[in-house]
């Protein structure tokens, strides 16, 4: 009898534990975390010009809508990668309150040794509230396309020196003198132009002022966190001051989402230009508010894109002004 009771205790103990877990509803569910976004590549390493797949995956709340970068965003968003095409956005349910969105890009790169993938922004919108989340930056190794017999390659031999005729030395002296004279004349004209601009009243157009401010950023090399933040602050200020003076948008006191919404309410603004401006401002927001650290090459690419957006905005504004002038009835 005692032996039978000990056998029942040995079997019934674990059974009671299992029944207790089932009655309690299993282990407690983990609290839902915030939005997460990651970038996945289809290969550990690629060759120059080889096409591969970049997949962005975002886990978000069911009440938010995810917007991924467009395929024509350029190097300002994709860094060393060149996006060829983008697939459809796929959505699956991970729980009753969570969704997982993913989109695949066919990309290639022409970088040497490694391709840098910067912080890729994904916008999450819920009603009028928009949040920008970014992927961690990563590097994709790029293997050499030189074959295994590269060891047989040799450096070119030194050129055999030839004596120069006397007339060649005379021609070289004349060309040197002409270059020095042209440089001195150009420096004199440049100094005179700067003096005229310093004495002239503040009558330059908003476009010229913004373009000049962006041009001055070309001489800066934002390699550290503080330098990068100051670089992007000046870049966005140039664009926002232009939007205030030329377009009439209160861009200095609005967020990026509010600036984009204000521009979309203007029928003369092109959607493509607005999306390019939004990409530049969001890249700057990631540096200023999310501690993103772009390389100097990426910053130069964003600067070039900012100048291109400024040119497009000014061209649109001038066409609108010309059309308004043509539509004005002339007095008899």
CATH 2.60.40.10 fits 36-143, yes or no: yes
β-pairing, 46-47 vs 114-117, is unpaired
The answer to which of 93-107, 116-130, 315-329 has the lowest mean pLDDT is 315-329
Question: Between these two residues, 182 and 93, which has the higher pLDDT value?
Answer: 93
pLDDT at 314: 93
Report the number of secondary-structure helices (H) and strands (E) in the chain.
8, 11
Residue 198 confidence (pLDDT) above 80: no
Average pLDDT over all residues of the chain: 79
pLDDT tens digit sequence for 6-15: 444 444 555 4
pLDDT higher than 70, residue 143: yes
Angle CA 312–71–126, to nearest 5:
90
Domain ranges of the chain: 36-143, 206-322
Q: What's the pTM value of the predicted model, to 2 decimals?
A: 0.48
Predicted local confidence at residue 175, as pLDDT:
83
Q: Give dist(CA 121, CA 67) in Å, integer.
A: 9
Percent of the chain residues topping a pLDDT of 90: 30
Quote the crossing angle between the two packed helices 206-217 and 296-327, to the nearest 10°.
170
């Amino acid at each position: 009898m005692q032996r039978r009771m000990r056998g029942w205790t040995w079997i019934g103990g674990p059974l009671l534990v299992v029944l207790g877990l089932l009655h309690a509803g299993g282990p407690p569910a983990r609290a839902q975390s915030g939005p997460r976004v990651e970038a996945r590549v289809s290969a550990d390493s690629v060759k120059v010009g080889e096409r591969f797949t970049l997949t962005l995956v975002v886990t978000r709340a069911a009440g938010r809508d995810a917007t991924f970068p467009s395929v024509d965003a350029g190097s300002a968003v994709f860094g060393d990668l060149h996006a060829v095409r983008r697939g459809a956005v796929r959505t699956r349910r991970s729980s009753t309150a969570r969704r997982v969105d993913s989109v695949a890009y066919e990309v290639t790169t022409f970088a040497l040794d490694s391709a840098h993938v910067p912080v890729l922004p994904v916008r999450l919108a819920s009603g009028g509230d928009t949040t920008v989340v970014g992927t961690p930056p990563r590097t994709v190794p790029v293997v050499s396309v030189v074959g295994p017999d590269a060891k047989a390659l040799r450096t070119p031999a030194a050129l055999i020196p030839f004596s120069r005729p006397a007339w060649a030395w005379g021609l070289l002296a004349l060309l040197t003198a002409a270059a020095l004279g042209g440089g001195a004349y150009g420096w004199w004209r440049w100094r005179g132009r700067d003096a005229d601009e310093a004495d002239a009243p503040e009558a330059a157009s908003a476009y010229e002022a913004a373009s000049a401010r962006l041009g001055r950023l070309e001489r800066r090399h934002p390699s550290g966190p503080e330098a990068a933040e100051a670089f992007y602050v000046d870049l966005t200020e140039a664009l926002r001051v232009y939007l205030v003076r030329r377009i009439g948008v209160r861009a200095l006191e609005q967020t990026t989402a509010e600036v984009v919404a204000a521009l979309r309410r203007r029928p003369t603004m092109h959607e493509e230009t607005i999306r390019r401006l939004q990409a530049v401002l969001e890249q700057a927001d990631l540096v200023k508010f999310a501690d993103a650290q772009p390389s100097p090459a990426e910053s130069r690419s964003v600067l070039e894109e900012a100048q291109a957006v400024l040119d497009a905005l000014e061209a649109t504004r001038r066409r609108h002004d010309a059309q308004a002038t043509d539509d004005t009835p002339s007095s008899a």
